[in-house]
Amino acid sequence: MTHNPMNEGPKIALFEPDIPQNTAAIIRTCACLGAKLEIIEPCGFLLSDKRFKRVVMDYMNKKDIKFYQSADTFFNSKKDQRIILMTTKASISYSNFKFKKNDTILPNMPFNGYEYGEIMI
């Protein structure tokens, strides 16, 4: 399967990921779906971690992952974009939500103190 890297599309952002196997599985999913991955640092592991490398296999091309040094840097770069925060406490189900082409989906963000106009589903 090939994807045109110039196409805009959905982005998955991970907030300070700390489980190497889960992060690697998300990288594999993004690679298969053609979604872009963004990581908000710091990570709780090194990309050279053997648990990470075992799961990510050859799916990861580090140059295709955008890294942000902090949550503030991430949110400041997205001022004119929609950030979709995933939570079990939202009033809208993801199955009823209308995603847009350039949305950034943030599945693991703690919600304390961040009020940047995000949409929670």
Q: What pTM was estimated for this model as a whole?
A: 0.79
pLDDT tens per residue across span 35-75: 899 999 998 888 777 877 777 767 667 777 899 999 899 98
24 within a domain of the structure (yes/no): yes
Q: Quote the domain boundaries for residue 55.
A: 12-73+100-109
58 within a domain of the structure (yes/no): yes
88 within a domain of the structure (yes/no): no
Residue with tokens 């079990």: 88
Asked if 50 and 78 touch (Cβ cutoff 8 Å), the reply is no
57 within a domain of the structure (yes/no): yes
> What pLDDT was estimated at residue 16?
92
104 within a domain of the structure (yes/no): yes
19 within a domain of the structure (yes/no): yes
CATH number at residue 16: 3.40.1280.10
93 within a domain of the structure (yes/no): no
Residues in the chain: 121
41 within a domain of the structure (yes/no): yes
Confidence grade of residue 112 (pLDDT, cut at 50, 70, 90): low
The rounded distance, in Å, linking the Cα atoms of 35 and 112 is 27
Number of domains the chain contains: 1
Give the dihedral sign, CA 94/99/105/106.
negative
